[in-house]
Amino acid sequence: MKFQSRATMKTAPALVLLAALALTACGGGTGLGPGEIEKREDKLRDRLPIDWTQYNGGDYQGAIDFFTKTLEQADVIEGVEGVKTLVKAEAQNGIGWTYLRMQDLDAAEQAFEVASHLDRNNADIWVGWAGVALALREYADVLRFSNQALELDPDYSSGARLDTDGRILSHDDLDERHVRLMLAEAYFQLGRYSAADRPDPQNAAAQVRLIDSDYTYRDPGQLLEAISQVAIELQESITAGN
């Protein structure tokens, strides 16, 4: 009878463990090769531009259905753990924007909250949530969400959104000026009119000035008129496609 040395007996389990780890690294524990995983990830991520196309076409119930289907697909497709969370976050973000368009603020708020837990680095989520908070007159949340969005993306533009591989995720043609307009409105409602009330840029006048460099603060009434005028001009720019 041939006996194994102690060294051999200790080495054998280690080799089995290393082999198992190698298999996991190659296929994420699914038995799938890297090429197949990439193919499945691309198939899942390719859904999102189609979902946003439904939204941009004004078919909001259809958009809800499409984004929801993407969520379902993310849950059932195996081997896509690397992108699943980000795809689900973007789908929830799309649902949030769609419900915001439909003026279902409770559903929109819920969707944005879920999206923010999945991906805290997506500025578009925070902008949408700030819009909901503004509609609900939750001004402290408007400040928190808007500032978070600008911290993540100072040059935010919803109309130029792309994923890391260039897929188009654009919608609504909003930019950082609209975010600053929400900040101005929230600061105004909280009584933070100018630098005398709150140091720059944490006041309404400062935010208006970041949109219109020619603006000079005089009094709250004149500031409110300026906020209204900026809102009109931004809306006109969207209508004109600028």
Please check the confidence at residue 27 and state whether its pLDDT lies above 50: no
Q: 233 with 196, same domain?
A: yes
Q: Is residue 131 very low, low, confident or very high in pLDDT (cuts 50, 70, 90)?
A: very high
In tens, the pLDDT along 37-55 reads 778 889 999 999 999 999 9
Domain presence at residue 166: yes
Q: 99 with 202, same domain?
A: no
DSSP state of 78: T
CATH of the domain at 155: 1.25.40.10
**What average pLDDT does this structure show over 127-156?**
98
Domain presence at residue 17: no
Number of domains in the chain: 2
Which of residues 127, 143, 174 is at a domain's end?
A: 174
Please check the confidence at residue 32 and state whether its pLDDT lies above 60: yes
Q: 135 with 194, same domain?
A: no
Q: 125 with 194, same domain?
A: no
Q: 94 with 195, same domain?
A: no
Q: Is residue 211 very low, low, confident or very high in pLDDT (cuts 50, 70, 90)?
A: very high
Q: Is residue 241 very low, low, confident or very high in pLDDT (cuts 50, 70, 90)?
A: low
Q: 148 with 228, same domain?
A: no
Parent domain of 130: 35-174
Vertex 166 angle, CA 132 and 168, to 5°: 45
Q: What is the DSSP string of 151-163?
A: HH-TT-BGGG-B-
Which of residues 148, 174, 200 is at a domain's end?
A: 174
Which of residues 159, 174, 189 is at a domain's end?
A: 174
